[in-house]
Structure 1
Amino acid sequence: MRSLREGTRAEALRTARTCYDHLTGKLGVMITTALLEQGALVTLDGEPTTRRRETGRFSAPLQEHPYELGPRAPEVLDALGVDLARVRTSRRPLLGML
């Protein structure tokens, strides 16, 4: 049986956590979904959602990244305070493997 502390921590990790410089968990999925809906991201495989791809095992790394910046990326990201020009010059990839 889990303690209250363990259950609370597990729920917090499911909600939002970071892995290096990636936001994961429910919050990461919600943000990705919103960026897709706003046209800031588009999918490369035609699947318009964040749903796990048929070809990928649940916990295995994806072989190809399914997203790229969409036509509204500059507008949407600027409204969020993201300096796209600065982010593009970072040593870290803008859209890393998920």
Structure 2
Amino acid sequence: MGLLKTRKNKKFSYTPRYFDDKGEGNPFEIKHKFDEHRKTIGPSKGLKGKFIDAFDDLKSNPNRDVNRRTLIIIAVLILIFLFIIDFDLSIFFSK
């Protein structure tokens, strides 16, 4: 029935009164500064497509310190979560 699908916006044939045809670009087009550099924007691709694009962005990032910092933060958050649920970490260490 379309419960999980996103609705497309309606399009109208309106032209503004003071729009110069020789002007640069479309006055209705809203673009962000870095849209042409991002892979993760655009029509929805599903969960798998989003993860693939996010990992491609992560791999193509020239700043490796940010990637390392992100991985450290994720590891600390996972350890805090395991501590909260009282997970036994001794299974990872051999005696």
Bin of the TM-score, shorter chain as denominator length: under 0.3
TM-score, scaled to structure 1: 0.27
* Structure richer in strand, relative to its length: 1
Q: Which has the higher contact order (CA 8 A, sep 6+)?
A: 1
TM-score, scaled to structure 2: 0.28
* Structure richer in helix, relative to its length: 2
* Bigger-Rg structure (1/2): 2
